[in-house]
Amino acid sequence: MLIGFEIIALNEYIKMENLTSIKQNPSKLWLNADVCRGPCDSDESVFNGAEFISLCLSKAPGTVLSLGWTTPLFVDDEDEMHTCSYGVNEIRRMKKLVQDLPSNTLLSFAVRAKLLSRTDLDLFERELMGLSQSYSLTVWTSIVDELSKTDITILSYLPRKF
């Protein structure tokens, strides 16, 4: 189950919802939010990352935190979309948010396939992937994204430990 909410709504959901089945196996619940500003000059709204993480850890411990970056649905300049990637700034903003979490925190980094295929994967892995014992990537695409054969080939070479 994957849920995206406003912070207030998330807090109310956790209070109201009978989470009995989730308490027995909390990793079945994934709580997702864009907690960092993303590439491509994204001006989409961002959850307060520290508040989101704190609420999830205190009210729904053991759930998977699916943390992502904002990205624009459409990019006016198509060439810009072909050159955007998760860069040092985006990766380090996320690292700053999660680096002090307990190492047993279940993390999934939600990344847009179109941008990930242009990202320095060594930097991504070096900066983020060792911060938790249990992590994954959630690779997603927008309805407007067109992935080339090259994009898909690059993604197929992601280390299997993700």
Asked if 81 contacts 68 with a C-beta cutoff of 8 angstroms, the reply is no
Task: Output the pLDDT for position 69.
Answer: 93
CA distance 55 to 98: 14
- pLDDT digits 0-9 by tens, 103-149: 888 899 999 988 888 888 888 888 887 777 778 888 888 888 888 88
Task: Output the pLDDT for position 31.
Answer: 86
Question: Strands 106-112 and 134-140: what pairing?
Answer: parallel
CA-based Rg of the chain, rounded to a whole angstrom? 16
β-bridge mates for residue 34, sequence order: 68
Task: Output the pLDDT for position 161.
Answer: 47
Domain ranges of the chain: 2-156
Task: Output the pLDDT for position 12.
Answer: 66
- pLDDT digits 0-9 by tens, 25-35: 666 778 889 99
- pLDDT digits 0-9 by tens, 37-74: 888 766 666 788 998 999 888 888 888 999 999 887 76
H or E stretch including 154? Answer: helix 149-156
The arithmetic mean of pLDDT across residues 69-85, rounded, is: 70
Exposed, middle or buried by CB within 10 Å (0-12, 13-18, 19+), for 47?
Answer: buried
What's the pTM value of the predicted model, to 2 decimals?
A: 0.81
